[in-house]
């Protein structure tokens, strides 16, 4: 293939370490990867980072720096067959009678390989047959086998920043020639790329091609927006970036910061995140972090979901914003959340206990003859509709106080009521002991 026929992203791929833009925390003077390159000492590693930040480029540059043969495997397209072929080729390189050489095996999207496929690399990494380089967009703690992870150094690559992306645009325009972008267009492209150089260059290549076709020498924001349209909306709907962002939204709501919560909400909406998923998460936040400190929060979250169901985007998105602000400023309590989890843990540890006879229903004569429901005290027939001193727990189980209301919002009143109920139970117990 002639170089001019290659995609712009490939033509701009750095050929030397000095041409790499970004990742200064790894490639700056004295930084880990810079030291590895300069020492020419290969070691197995995993490059973890979002798309388009230079994982494949760094792997290729390592092979060149270490004077190693480069074998690339895509975990999306490959399998055990490709792994075996890579091993055979590495053995061939290593045993060459003329010029024995080392090999670097690069596995792109390594998290796509299952446990058995990942394990296939272990003996060859341990024997030193080849240096293993894995690239992943997912957290290797969860997606890479612990055995393989323990034999590789994990390097975290960061999204490219505004300055990095600006430099890439300048380099690309210099290579393409005949097309310029005004300042606002560059800002739109940088925002659209969201730290992903490949995404930036693919969009820029399309723009330049269309601009040349229409004989436009300088791209402005209006023309760019018209050409790109909905493609300017971006969000990683399934990867780690998605879960990091929803986590930021949840923590902002929990932390009572409505402005930050709105920022993360709008960023997800503008990126094309599923608003129905977001509405479900808001309902969860209302239950988990607000609870009975403000029971209206749950109703508002449910109403918000129903409004979006009826209106859709963009009209229904305002209901999501209203809900996020309300949840953020509402009094916070995780008392019910904690009580629920503690109850689950107790049941898991103690198993299910028989229901006491006085709490059982007795719809048949046989059940009544077996004392089902006997001596049950109907609360509505008692003073204050409360059967003070009654036991609602399994016979052999000690009552446990799971729910501990906080001194915020409605739970202040709930705590007062619970203290009163406890006092009535204690009085009833003392009275029974005197009999």
* DSSP assignment of 139-188: -HHHHS-HHHHTTSEEEEPPPP-HHHHHHHHHHHHHHH-S-EE-HHHHHH
Peptide bond between residue 314 and the one before it cis (omega within 30 degrees of 0) = yes
Q: Which of 297, 305, 251 is CA-nearest to residue 276? A: 305
Q: Which of 240, 31, 33, 242 is CA-nearest to residue 141? A: 240
- Helix, strand, or coil (residue 375): coil
| DSSP letter (8 states) at residue 114 | -
Q: From CA 278, how far away is CA 245, in angstroms rounded?
A: 11
Rg (alpha carbons) of the chain, rounded to whole number: 32
Phi-psi label, residue 394: left if phi above 0, alpha if psi -120 to 50, beta otherwise:
beta
| DSSP letter (8 states) at residue 272 | T
First to last CA, the chain: 100
Distances (CA, A) of 382 to 266, 377, 386, 415, 427: 53, 8, 6, 22, 15
**DSSP bridge partners of 199:** none
Q: From CA 196, how far away is CA 165, in angstroms rounded?
A: 8
Strand pairing report for 153-156 and 180-181: unpaired
Q: Which of 62, 68, 53 is CA-nearest to residue 23? A: 53
Q: Helical H runs in 351-410?
A: 365-369
**DSSP bridge partners of 82:** none
CATH code: domain 240-329 is: 1.20.272.10
| Count of CB atoms situated within 10 Å of the CB of 334 | 17
Low-confidence ranges of the chain (pLDDT < 50): none
| Count of CB atoms situated within 10 Å of the CB of 159 | 18
Angle between helices 183-193 and 197-213 (to 10 degrees): 140
CA dihedral over 403, 329, 238, 140, signed as positive or negative: negative
Output phi, psi for 365, to 5 deg.
-65, -40
Task: Decide: 221 and 257 in contact? Cβ < 8 Å.
Answer: no
Task: Decide: 310 and 275 in contact? Cβ < 8 Å.
Answer: no
Q: Helical H runs in 271-410?
A: 275-285, 296-311, 317-329, 335-350, 365-369
The CATH number of 162-232 is which of 1.10.8.60, 3.40.80.10, 3.40.605.10, 3.90.1570.10? 1.10.8.60
Q: Which of 147, 171, 151 is CA-nearest to residue 160? A: 171
Task: Decide: 133 and 47 in contact? Cβ < 8 Å.
Answer: yes
What pLDDT was estimated at residue 110?
Answer: 93
Q: Which residues, in sequence order, are CB contacts of 413 under 8 Å at separation 6+?
A: none
- Helix, strand, or coil (residue 281): helix
- The full set of domain ranges for the chain reads 23-156, 162-232, 240-329, 352-434
Tell me which architecture the domain covering 23-156 has in CATH: 3-Layer(aba) Sandwich (3.40)
Overall residue count recorded for the chain in this entry: 435
Q: From CA 295, how far away is CA 177, in angstroms rounded?
A: 61
Q: Which of 211, 205, 248, 240 is CA-nearest to residue 226? A: 211
Fold matches, 23-156 and 240-329: no
CA 274 to chain centre: 14
CA dihedral over 244, 245, 246, 251, signed as positive or negative: positive
What pLDDT was estimated at residue 237?
Answer: 52
């Amino acid at each position: 293939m002639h170089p001019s026929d290659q995609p712009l992203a490939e033509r701009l791929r750095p050929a030397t370490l000095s041409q790499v833009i970004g990742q200064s925390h790894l490639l700056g003077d004295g930084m880990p990867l810079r030291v590895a390159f300069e020492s020419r000492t290969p070691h197995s590693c995993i490059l973890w980072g979002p798309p388009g930040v230079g994982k494949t480029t760094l792997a290729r540059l390592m092979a060149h720096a270490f004077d190693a043969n480069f074998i690339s495997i895509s975990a999306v397209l490959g399998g055990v067959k490709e792994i075996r072929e890579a091993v055979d080729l590495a053995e061939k390189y290593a045993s060459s009678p003329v010029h024995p050489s080392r090999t670097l095996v690069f596995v792109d999207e390594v998290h796509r390989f299952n446990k058995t496929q990942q394990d296939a690399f272990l003996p060859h990494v341990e024997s030193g047959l080849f240096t293993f380089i894995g690239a992943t967009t997912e957290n290797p703690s969860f997606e890479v086998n612990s055995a393989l992870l323990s034999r590789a150094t994990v390097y975290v690559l960061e999204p490219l920043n505004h300055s990095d992306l600006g430099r890439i645009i300048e380099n690309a325009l210099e290579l393409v020639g005949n097309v310029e972008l005004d300042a606002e267009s560059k800002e739109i492209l940088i925002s659209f790329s969201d730290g992903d150089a490949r995404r930036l260059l693919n969009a820029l290549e399309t723009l330049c091609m269309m601009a040349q076709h229409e004989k436009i020498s300088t791209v402005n924001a209006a023309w760019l927006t018209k050409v790109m349209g909905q493609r300017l909306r971006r969000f990683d709907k399934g990867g780690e970036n998605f879960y990091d962002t929803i986590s930021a939204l949840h923590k902002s709501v929990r932390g009572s910061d409505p402005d930050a919560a709105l920022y993360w909400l709008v960023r997800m909406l503008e990126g094309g995140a599923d608003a129905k998923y977001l509405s479900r998460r808001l309902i969860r936040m209302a239950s988990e972090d607000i609870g009975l400190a403000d029971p209206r929060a749950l109703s508002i979250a449910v109403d918000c979901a129903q409004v979006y169901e009826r209106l859709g985007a963009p009209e229904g998105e305002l209901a999501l914003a209203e809900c996020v602000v309300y949840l953020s400023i509402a009094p916070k309590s995780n008392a019910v959340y904690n009580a629920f989890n503690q109850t689950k843990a107790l049941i898991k540890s103690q198993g299910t206990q028989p229901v006491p006879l006085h709490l059982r229903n007795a719809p048949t004569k046989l059940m009544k003859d077996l004392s089902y429901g006997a001596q049950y005290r109907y609360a509505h027939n008692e003073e204050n509709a409360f059967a003070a001193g009654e036991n609602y727990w399994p016979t052999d189980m000690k009552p446990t106080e799971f729910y501990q209301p906080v001194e915020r919002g409605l739970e202040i009143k709930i705590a007062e009521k619970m203290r009163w109920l406890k006092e009535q139970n204690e009085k009833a117990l003392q009275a029974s002991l005197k009999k």
